[in-house]
């Protein structure tokens, strides 16, 4: 017999169905709750709310497990490429050799962007944050490419257009904001190598593509490619549920990712480590500030809504720091500070009791610095990586007959019925 849960409200017994996922996770189906009882559930931040059924990504926060379409993140980081992982997430299966080649050809073919889009960049103030620019550019794609709604047999061309062009747009934003000439994509280079070349090639010193650094970028983007119902993905699903076009939905995801509690944490970590270095703050002082409730300082790159153990992505990223730094023959003093900070925090009762461990962002900034990526481009790097996940989740959401427009309820705590008072009868201070 199917499992159920019993809820008693005002002496009335309600039987609620229990749904079980393929990994044994259980959810109480409360879809009939309001209709049958007049009550709603209250769950700010949705920490206990399953908003959808999904076949894309599995996480177990207690055991530090992350799998895309069933495949452990460790295996993908070791053997796959970002493009192959994107194919896996979006289509649900690993590509054949022929499918992968065709996908790569499309990604190269689609990489130039409309010349008029370049005018966008020119009109932005020089210090504009690239995440703001990227979000606007992706939204603008709907107007520049209205024809991109045809389907092909594996991956919708629209998805490939966005994956391909976002890389060009990101590199272009960097070049223009630093007053450098724009470097166009090269058809002979793979996705990651092309990005590095568009970022760093110069007439004076031509960029030499290094296989190890290309591999590092592949791993970086694989680790960021999806993370089930996180803040930005939820934003994409919620906005997408209104049936708005995919560009607008993805643009919302980019905005959500920008925040320092989410993707913006990779930039915030480096700024924190630099602050420790610059101000001569000791690690102990830093940890003490993070624990002080009167201080709004948090240990950036630590803690996670789902992981209550070491983030499996952070483990891989930590190893990558050594590999990439030894490749570029550089030492980064921030890595020493980060390692020490981790050591002290993991021994501290506050962090232990609250299960606060390094997350993916704690070491990712060090890897990006070693690749030569400037700090204000870090969150853009996260966004490029997360794009296949947003697309896969948007696709799943918009084709799921069970899904409806997102429209949560609330518990109203404001004034009860009050009469309108004409302005000359109101008392109180004047607000200018």
Catalytic residue set: 304, 361
**Alpha-carbon gap, residue 169 to 188, rounded angstroms:** 19
> Looking at beta carbons only, is 137 or 290 nearer to ligand CMC?
290
Least distance from ligand CMC to the Cβ atom of residue 348, Å: 10
In the complex, what is the shortest distance from the CB of residue 232 to ligand CMC, in angstroms, rounded to a whole number? 8
Q: How far is the CB of 105 from ligand CMC (least distance, A)?
A: 32
Select the residue whose beta carbon is closest to ligand CMC and give its number: 303
d(CA 356, CA 362): 12
Q: Which of 18, 258, 10 is nearest to 134 (CA)?
A: 258
Q: Which is nearer to ligand CMC, 224 or 395 (CB)?
A: 224
Asked if residue 254 lies in contact with residue 232, where contact means CB atoms within 8 angstroms, the answer is: yes
Q: Which among 227, 94, 69 is positioned nearest to 154, based on CA atoms?
A: 94
Is residue 225 a contact partner of residue 386, using CB atoms and an 8 Å limit? yes
Min separation Cβ 217 and ligand CMC, Å: 18
CB of 297 to ligand CMC, least distance (A): 8
Pairwise CA distance, residues 432 & 422, whole Å:
18
Closer CB to ligand CMC, residue 108 or residue 230?
Answer: 230
415: its two tokens: 């004034």
Q: How far is the CB of 304 from ligand CMC (least distance, A)?
A: 5
Cβ closest to ligand CMC, residue 140 vs residue 288: 288
Q: Which strands form 4-9's sheet, in the order they lie side by side?
A: 4-9, 12-20, 26-28
Please give the distance of CA 242 from its chain centroid, rounded to a whole number: 21
Eight-class DSSP state of 306: S
- DSSP assigned state of 404: -
Contacting positions for ligand CMC (CB under 6 A): 45, 227, 230, 261-263, 265, 290, 298-305, 354, 356, 359-361
Using CA atoms, how far apart are residues 97 and 423, in angstroms rounded to an integer? 73
Spacing of C-alpha 81 from chain mean position = 18
Nearer to ligand CMC, 140 or 306 (CB): 306
Q: Which is nearer to ligand CMC, 263 or 365 (CB)?
A: 263
How far is residue 181 from each of residues 133, 159, 340, 369, measured CA to CA in Å?
18, 28, 40, 22
d(CA 301, CA 306): 14
């Amino acid at each position: 017999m199917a499992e159920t849960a019993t809820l008693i409200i005002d002496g009335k017994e309600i039987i609620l169905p229990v749904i079980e996922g393929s990994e044994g996770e259980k959810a109480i189906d409360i879809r009939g709750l309001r209709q049958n009882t007049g009550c709603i559930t209250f769950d700010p931040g949705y920490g206990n709310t399953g908003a959808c059924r999904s076949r894309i990504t599995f996480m177990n926060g207690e055991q530090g497990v992350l799998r895309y379409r069933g495949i452990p993140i460790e295996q993908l980081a070791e053997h796959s490429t970002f493009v192959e992982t994107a194919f896996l997430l979006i289509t649900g299966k690993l590509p054949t050799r022929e499918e992968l080649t065709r996908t790569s050809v499309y990604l190269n073919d689609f990489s130039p962007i409309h010349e008029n889009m370049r005018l966008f960049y020119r009109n932005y103030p020089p210090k504009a944050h690239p995440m703001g620019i990227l979000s606007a550019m992706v939204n603008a794609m709907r107007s520049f490419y209205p024809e991109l709604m045809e389907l092909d047999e594996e991956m919708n061309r629209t998805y490939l257009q966005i994956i391909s062009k976002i890389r060009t747009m990101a590199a272009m934003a960097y070049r223009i904001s630093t007053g450098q000439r724009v470097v166009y994509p090269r058809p002979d280079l793979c996705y990651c190598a092309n990005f590095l070349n568009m970022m760093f090639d110069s007439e004076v010193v031509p960029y030499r593509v290094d296989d190890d650094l290309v591999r590092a970028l592949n791993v970086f983007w694989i680790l960021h490619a999806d993370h089930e119902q996180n803040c930005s993905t939820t934003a994409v699903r919620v906005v997408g549920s209104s049936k708005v076009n995919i560009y607008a939905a993805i643009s919302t995801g980019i905005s959500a990712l920008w925040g320092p509690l989410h993707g913006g944490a990779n930039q915030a970590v480096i700024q924190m480590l630099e602050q420790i270095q610059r101000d001569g703050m000791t690690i102990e002082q830093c940890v003490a500030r993070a624990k002080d409730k009167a201080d709004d300082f948090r240990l950036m790159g630590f803690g996670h809504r789902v992981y209550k153990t070491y983030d499996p992505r952070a483990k891989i990223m930590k190893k990558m720091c050594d590999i990439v730094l030894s490749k570029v023959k550089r030492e980064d003093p921030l890595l020493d500070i980060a390692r020490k900070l981790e050591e002290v925090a993991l021994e501290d009762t506050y962090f232990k009791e609250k299960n606060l461990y390094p997350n993916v962002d704690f070491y990712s900034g060090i890897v990006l610095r070693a690749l030569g990526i400037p700090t204000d481009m870090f969150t853009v790097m996260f966004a490029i990586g997360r794009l296949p996940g947003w697309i896969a989740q948007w696709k799943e959401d918009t084709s799921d007959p069970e899904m409806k427009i997102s429209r949560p309820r609330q518990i109203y705590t404001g004034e009860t019925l009050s009469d309108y008072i004409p302005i000359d009868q109101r008392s109180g201070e004047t607000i200018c």
